[in-house]
Amino acid sequence: MKHLKYLLLLLVVTSCNAPRASFDYDPQVSFSQFQTYKIYPDLVSKMSQLDEQRVLSILDSELNSKGFTTSKNPDVYINFYSSEYQSDSRNTLGIGVGGGGGNMGVGVSGGIPIRGPQTNMRLTIDFITVENDALIWQAVVDSQFNFNASPEVREAKLQKMIQEALKGYPPEKN
């Protein structure tokens, strides 16, 4: 029972850092027809050249595992781009003072941030038809990202983000 308490705490702490994805797609499109891809010719990823190469390598591996192959005459273009933003730390230390007597009580409390703002990355992946250059599927993944991390840590984080994004492809139509 004692170990269960620590396991639950570990799950709560690690789940807050997991990538979160949202998806959108064109419901009129039959996604089973797409089997080949190529990176969008006008790619502007807004990433460092090294991170861009990491994403290209990871996308290639993940798309191949979904049955896609690269082609000079593809069915779809894959586009991706990123942005970074700051979010307030949710970790605070609560301090309170209170007192009372009789049937009255008064208290004052406040939270002191433990850490500064967190740096996040938003990675957007688009599937665009070659035939009419129309966006047919999009995933947006948000996650904490340490831009000062080692190359191995950065690659592992990008891998998790891309895997989370591609969980929504092909979309399950209702």
Q: Under CATH, which number does the domain 34-86+118-169 receive?
A: 3.30.160.670
Instruction: Check if the beta carbon of residue 70 is closer than 8 Å to that of residue 62.
Output: no
Instruction: Check if the beta carbon of residue 45 is closer than 8 Å to that of residue 81.
Output: yes
Per residue in 62-120, pLDDT (tens digit) is: 999 999 999 999 999 999 999 998 876 656 666 676 777 777 777 766 666 666 678 89
User: Hey, where are the domains in the chain?
Assistant: 34-86+118-169
Per residue in 89-104, pLDDT (tens digit) is: 656 666 676 777 777 7
Q: What is the pLDDT of residue 13?
A: 45
pTM for the whole structure: 0.76
Per residue in 116-163, pLDDT (tens digit) is: 678 899 999 999 999 999 999 999 999 999 999 999 999 999 999 999
